[in-house]
Chain A
Amino acid sequence: MVIKRREFLQVGSLATASLMLPKFLKAFEKPMMVPPGNKVVVVIQLSGGNDGLNTVIPVRNDIYYKERPKLGIEKDKALLITDEIGLNPALAGFKELFDDGSLAIMNSVGYPNPDRSHFRSMDIWQSASASNDYVYTGWLGRYLDAQCKGCDRPTQAMEMDDVLSMALKGEESKGLAFKDPKRLFNSATGKYFKDLGNNHQHGEETIDYLYKTMSETLSSAEYIYQQSKAHPSSETYPGTELGKDLKTIASLIFSDINTKVYYVSLGSFDTHVAQDGQQKRLFTELSDAVKAFTSDLKKNNRFQDVMIMSFSEFGRRVSQNASGGTDHGTANNMFFVSGGLKEKGVLNAMPDLSDLTEGDLKHKVDFKSVYATVLNKWLGANDKAILGKQYEYLNFI
């Protein structure tokens, strides 16, 4: 007997009964007004290894054009920000931000003994570990751990995705991942699950942990959904994925939610073949979405308090390959965008193309120094405890 069924368990149905909160969630019942000046960081992960040399272009460097006879972007096509440096033509929004004094560029960011596997290198960036260490918590997850020992507010860090990245997984606390507040709300509003949560008797540590995670998710889903509707952004964003994500983030930033960290990914930048078209398409999406986002923040007087930070797991080799693309490399640049930067423009020297390691750029700034700076100076957290070591602070914030 084979039965096809579509019954039992109204998991997806919207619950109308008021939400009964377990004790440990009482925090949500109180209004959580976010003080003005609440600093927020929005991490944009450029997945796949973005080609940094065609992002921030050394337009007067002969080696660059020699190594990239086909892929090199000519000076008159680049968006010049200094005599020597141009941005990729598809980054018009960032050029405006540069002129506006709200963009900072850090060159040659990387780590010792670089790994050229996407997965491994992304792990290293997300966990902030050494390249021969295997760590399963992320730097932002450990920030949650440090910030929030014992308190239960998974909304402090949120990722716009259906799967939570390791970056936001701490030992005890974890960020919350969702693509769309409404869909999160719909998928996490089983009356059954709420009933289960309300009737759970305290038991062993692991089962309590599962119940706690479930109940937090259910109430956070409702809370996030309400907050996202409270002060919806009225700005027009491009209809791209990133545009939608940043619009959601903006709406939440304008609300009373306590979120300090937003995380969003864009890709794939893995341009082994036909790089020009692929990078142009992605940069256009990035530039247009960030432009709408920053303009939205400015209008709502929040640009001082929000910082966008972009990174990629590695840069690409200096020489182009034979397929109109570039292969996996090492050090790369990072962008910081905010109305509250202390140092602006190009923060350090362009990469030295005459001093390479087997055709790859040498890193000059450890990315963990960037994290330390963001954690300490922007988020006011104990970076040493989170990163396990004291890294040198940088001055851009």
Chain B
Amino acid sequence: MAVSNRLKNQHLLWRSAFGPMAENAADLDNISQKKLWELLLKTSAKRPDKLEVAQNLVDGLMKGIKDVVDLQKKELTADQKKQMQQQSREDLKTLNIRWLEEMINSEAQLREKMSLFWHGHFATRVINSYFQQELLQIIRENALGNFKDLLKEVSRSPSMIQFLNNQQNKKQHPNENFAREVMELFTLGRGNYTENDIKEAARAFTGWGFNLQGEFVFRKGQHDDGRKTVLGKSGNFDGDDIINILLEQKQTARFITKKIYKYFVNDTVDDAKVEWLSDRFYKNDYDIKKLLEDIYLSDWFYDEKNIGSRIKSPIELLAGIRRFLPMEMQNDQAQLLFQRTLGQILFYPPNVAGWPGGKNWIDSSSLMLRLRIPQIITANEAIDIRPKSDDDTNMGQMMDANLKKMQDTVKGGTATIEWSAVNKIFEKIPRENLLQKISATVLQTKSQVSTTVLDKYLNNESRENYIKSAVVNLMSTPEYQLC
């Protein structure tokens, strides 16, 4: 099977962005991949506006307190703390929904998609909505920039420092958590450093902390300024020195490139290609945009084996449906419930290593829900889902507290869809080619859904109904889970 130009363009849009949208899906037959890539770059060129959600309570309380030490001295009453946590959880829900809206509606598709990747790479779970909002902004601003800047800014963010306990990393009692993860998960990967490297690096990060204004602070009194040896280099290193040493290692470029290849190209790694890409990534001084360009402008990216082979993450699935079907969601709770039930809640990664992805997304329950979601959304079908509580006062209760409410509201309907935009994509297609065309627009896989089966379920009352039923049916297939 020759790969059509349309399929290639859709491939580029599914991988580098959140899939084709109704308004431009008709134009994908003739544009070249190079042109489309340039368009993607252009629309993501602007610095992103910050998504500000942290409410006055969190903001105000934080600004009223000079330092986290004050907080520990219990200047806040138990009630205040509780209130702050509740408000933070509400804020995080808002941040979740607003960012998801960006992924669906923003023209900066390339930037938001890359940000989702980094959101899983630099995964933190902290309750503080202000910290999360700031970390997200660091990620979105640097998503297509330079990995060095991104790593440095993330390492100094209160969200990361809190999550990996660097606030407790002091000269007298080093805490190795951040030093370990920065090597294992953020730069080198396992097997490329020793336990001693971690111990020594942890000493260099002593004194890195934050105050409650959400600002990085270096606490000189807690810093160990003695001599350290890390990855064969010795000196009176501080945290910045360690990050620089890690970035000097070619292994860091290799590790990041491999992860990006697996995420955006193919889970099965082609070593030669990764080596070539990572060489260039290193030589280009960790320029993320250039690395992506090397991938998306290569011929091999469009090889048949790389198309339709990736299991969409829950966020990719939900965003993809909503890009293709312009809709107004009547309640946010449904979106959170879908995320929860499918196993990917933004800002609540399972742990510091992020979401594992791939087949891990799929089990009986999650797959059946995935298959039913297009129907649930488009037909306002009631869903009866009761995920168990997360039992995490620090983090998970965002879901618990509203679970009941969530189920009630979800039953009340979820969306109104503007089908005219979808009909417009296919307005020039003759009836006899219609199903084939819709299928080629909705699905990326080589495996095709049997037209004999589809014919049995499509609505022939009108052309409009036919298109609607074909789109919904095609989205309700195992094939649509792949991109």
Contacts and interface: CB of A to CB of B under 8 A. Distances in A.
A206 B311 contact: yes
DSSP class of A's interface residues: helix, strand, loop or mixed? loop
Interface in A143-187: 154, 161-164, 166, 169, 174-179, 183, 187
Interface string A266-304: 011110100000000000000000000000000000000
Contacts of A9: 375, 379, 457, 469, 472-473, 476
Given A11-B476, A47-B388, A48-B391, A203 B447 contact: yes
A207 B482 contact: yes
A171 B11 CA distance: 28
Contacts of B352: 134
Give the one of B180, B343, B365, B387 with max A CB within 10 A: B365
A5 B379 contact: yes
B379 A6 contact: yes
A204 interface: yes
A8 B390 contact: no
Contacts of A178: 365
Contacts of A32: none
A2 B417 contact: yes
A193 B393 CA distance: 39
Nearest to B74: A322
Contacts of B328: 2
Interface stretch (B203-211, B248-256, B257-265, B354-362): B354-362
Contacts of B379: 5-9
Given A163-B387, A179-B386, A192-B476, A213 B360 contact: no
Given A47-B388, A214-B371, A269-B391, A204 B364 contact: no
Nearest to B342: A163
Contacts of B311: 206, 210
B341 A200 contact: no
B453 A176 contact: no
A53 B362 CA distance: 39
A161 B456 CA distance: 34
B396 interface: yes
29 contacts: A1-B420, A2-B328, A6-B379, A8-B375, A8-B457, A8-B468, A11-B372, A119-B351, A154-B364, A162-B365, A163-B341, A163-B366, A163-B387, A164-B363, A164-B365, A187-B368, A193-B476, A196-B450, A200-B447, A206-B482, A207-B445, A209-B359, A210-B482, A213-B364, A213-B367, A217-B367, A267-B391, A268-B391, A269-B391
B41 interface: no
Interface string A317-332: 0000011000000000
- Chain B: number of interface residues, binned into ranges: 35 or more
Interface in A1-51: 1-9, 11-12, 47-49
A126 to B, nearest CB: 11
A195 interface: yes
A11 B459 CA distance: 15
A118 interface: yes
Interface in B369-403: 371-372, 375, 378-381, 384-396, 400
Contacts of B459: 7-8
B366 A270 contact: no
A204 B417 contact: no
B13 to A, nearest CB: 20
Interface in B418-473: 418-420, 445-447, 449-450, 452-453, 456-457, 459, 465, 468-469, 472-473
B353 interface: yes
B334 to A, nearest CB: 15
Interface in B335-350: 340-341, 343, 350
A207 B478 contact: yes
Closest 9 CB pairs of A and B: A210-B478, A48-B391, A203-B447, A118-B392, A199-B450, A134-B353, A217-B364, A47-B391, A136-B356
Nearest to A178: B365
Given A3-B419, A136-B360, A217-B368, A161 B388 contact: yes
Contact of A267 (B389, B456, B468): B389
Nearest to B400: A268
Interface in A61-119: 117-119
Contacts of A270: 391-393
Of the four ranges (under 10, 10 to 19, 20 to 34, 35 or more), the interface on chain A belongs to 35 or more
Contacts, number: 194
Contacts of B452: 199
B2 interface: no
A196 B477 contact: yes
Given A11-B476, A213-B367, A199 B125 contact: no
Contacts of B446: 203-204
A59 B279 CA distance: 67
B272 interface: no
A141 B310 CA distance: 23
B309 interface: yes
B377 to A, nearest CB: 10
Contact of B468 (A5, A193, A200): A5
B364 A4 contact: no
Given A5-B379, A192-B476, A203-B445, A123 B363 contact: no
A383 interface: no
B224 interface: no
Given A6-B381, A161-B388, A162-B386, A192 B420 contact: no
Given A1-B420, A163-B388, A183-B384, A8 B356 contact: no
A195 B381 contact: no
A123 B351 CA distance: 9
A322 B362 CA distance: 44
A119 B125 contact: yes
Nearest to B379: A6
Contacts of A11: 372, 375, 381, 476
B380 A6 contact: yes
B416 interface: yes
A119 B163 CA distance: 13
Contacts of B419: 1, 3
A220 to B, nearest CB: 7
Contacts of B375: 8-9, 11
Nearest to B480: A210
A354 interface: no
Contacts of B309: 204, 206
B346 to A, nearest CB: 15
A223 interface: no
A188 interface: yes
A358 to B, nearest CB: 12
Nearest to B449: A196
A357 interface: no
Given A5-B379, A192-B473, A203-B447, A47 B453 contact: no
Nearest to B348: A119
Contact of A216 (B364, B366, B384): B364
Contact of A214 (B391, B457, B478): B478
Contacts of A207: 445, 447, 478-479, 482
Contacts of A6: 379-381
B481 interface: yes
A45 to B, nearest CB: 9
A210 B369 CA distance: 13
Given A176-B364, A265-B388, 20 more contacts: A2-B328, A5-B379, A6-B380, A7-B469, A8-B375, A8-B379, A9-B472, A9-B476, A11-B375, A117-B394, A118-B393, A118-B396, A119-B395, A154-B364, A162-B386, A163-B340, A163-B387, A169-B360, A200-B450, A209-B362
B481 to A, nearest CB: 6
